[in-house]
């Protein structure tokens, strides 16, 4: 595609994407607003979302379109969410949504509409690196609000086509102030914190209502297999969980893992939660085509966790991660994302 200044912007009706639209337009881009219809009644797909996005686009003078991707969202995001819990894993649906929806189907739509770029209101950064001779995904200046962690799974060939207009802002209040200064009515709209398709936050009820996952009693056992109590269904527990186990013990016990064949929750003392090595699958590398020698990186294993120093090496379709210091509650299904400085090396799913 020949380079042009047309950009398709994903708009949720919130303040981040609304200010992104304004900044792009003021920078001279030919902006088209788009809202994806993904799941009826979700926090990011409802009548207010569409109306707010359309209102903002009209106010700043850009076109706005709504695209229905409900079937695709169910296939790529909801079905994966259910499959993870069915297999005793803890998913991060935002990562699947970014890969398949925002940076998959939206990019396809952008190409159909003749756009060279797509944009979102994520706090992340793209730029060309002279050192690595390729386009790279980087952390934004937003500190704890940086969202590069949930973007590791996007196709690397797409990076040069992605714009994050909020990359250089340090905090959300600056974004809200720009919205106020420009009289955007969404300036004080609260952030959506929950999983978008579970607005009440009750993922257990969602699973019971939308899948074959139902309460099924089984044993809670320690590492040696001794029965300590009963559980109400494996999906009701997460690794590292302490409260709600319903068992008494001289020292606190935590969920260490699961035996799905025997329908058991395995618990142990906190010291047993720490691991120094993990394997990662579903790899997506952004900075290199492969990692053939031991590479020193920092690794984030949850969105809110602090990055930890580690060494990684690729073994066919897996990456072995060896941490400098043992890490707590490493959870299958969650993402391990690798960084060199501010640059995202890539990532994968913890096994």
Q: How far apart are the first and last CA of the chain?
A: 38
The question of whether 44 is a catalytic residue gets the answer no
Of the candidates 84, 94, 97, 115, the residue annotated as catalytic is 97
For 280-314, b/e burial (b = at least 16 CB within 10 A) is beebbbbbeeebeeebebbbbbbbebeebebebeb
CA 77, CA 118: separation in Å to the nearest integer?
Answer: 21
Active site residue 84: no
Catalytic residue among 45, 84, 94, 196: 196
The side-by-side arrangement of strands in the sheet containing 264-268 is 227-231, 218-222, 264-268, 254-259
**Which residues have CB under 8 Å from 305's CB, separation 6+?**
none
SS3 percent helix, strand, coil of the chain, rounded to 5, is 30, 30, 40
**Residue 32 corresponds to which tokens in the numbers above?**
């088209």
| Residues designated catalytic | 97, 196
């Amino acid at each position: 595609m020949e380079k042009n200044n047309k950009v398709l912007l994903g708009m949720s009706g919130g303040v981040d994407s609304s200010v992104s639209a304004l900044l792009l337009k003021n920078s001279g881009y030919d902006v088209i607003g788009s809202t994806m219809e993904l799941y009826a009644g979700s926090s990011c797909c409802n009548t207010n979302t569409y109306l707010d996005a359309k209102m903002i686009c009209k106010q700043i003078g850009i076109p706005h379109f709504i695209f229905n991707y409900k079937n695709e969202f169910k296939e790529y995001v909801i079905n994966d969410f259910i499959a993870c819990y069915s297999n005793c894993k803890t998913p991060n649906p935002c990562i699947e949504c970014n890969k398949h929806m925002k940076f998959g189907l939206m990019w396809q739509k952008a190409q159909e509409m003749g756009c060279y770029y797509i944009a979102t209101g994520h706090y992340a950064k793209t730029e060309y690196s002279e050192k690595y001779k390729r386009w790279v995904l980087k952390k934004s200046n937003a500190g704890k609000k940086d969202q590069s962690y949930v973007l590791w799974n996007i196709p690397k060939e797409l990076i040069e086509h992605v714009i994050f207009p909020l990359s250089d802002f340090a905090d959300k209040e600056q974004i809200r102030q720009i919205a106020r200064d420009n009289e955007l009515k969404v300036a004080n709209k609260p952030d959506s914190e929950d999983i978008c398709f579970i607005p009440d936050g009750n993922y257990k009820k969602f699973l019971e209502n939308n899948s074959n996952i139902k309460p099924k009693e089984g044993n809670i056992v320690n590492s040696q297999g001794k029965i300590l109590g009963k559980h109400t269904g494996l999906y009701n527990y997460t690794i590292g969980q302490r409260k709600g186990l319903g068992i008494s013990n001289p020292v606190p016990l935590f969920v260490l893992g699961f035996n799905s064949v025997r329908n058991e929750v395995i618990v142990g003392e906190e010291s047993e939660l720490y691991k120094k090595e993990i394997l990662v699958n579903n790899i997506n590398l952004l900075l290199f085509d492969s990692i053939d020698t031991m590479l020193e990186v920092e690794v984030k294993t949850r969105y809110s966790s602090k990055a930890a120093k580690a060494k990684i090496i690729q073994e066919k379709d897996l990456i072995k991660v060896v941490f400098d210091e043992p890490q707590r509650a490493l959870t299958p299904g969650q993402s391990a994302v690798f960084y060199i400085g501010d640059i995202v090396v890539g990532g994968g799913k913890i096994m």
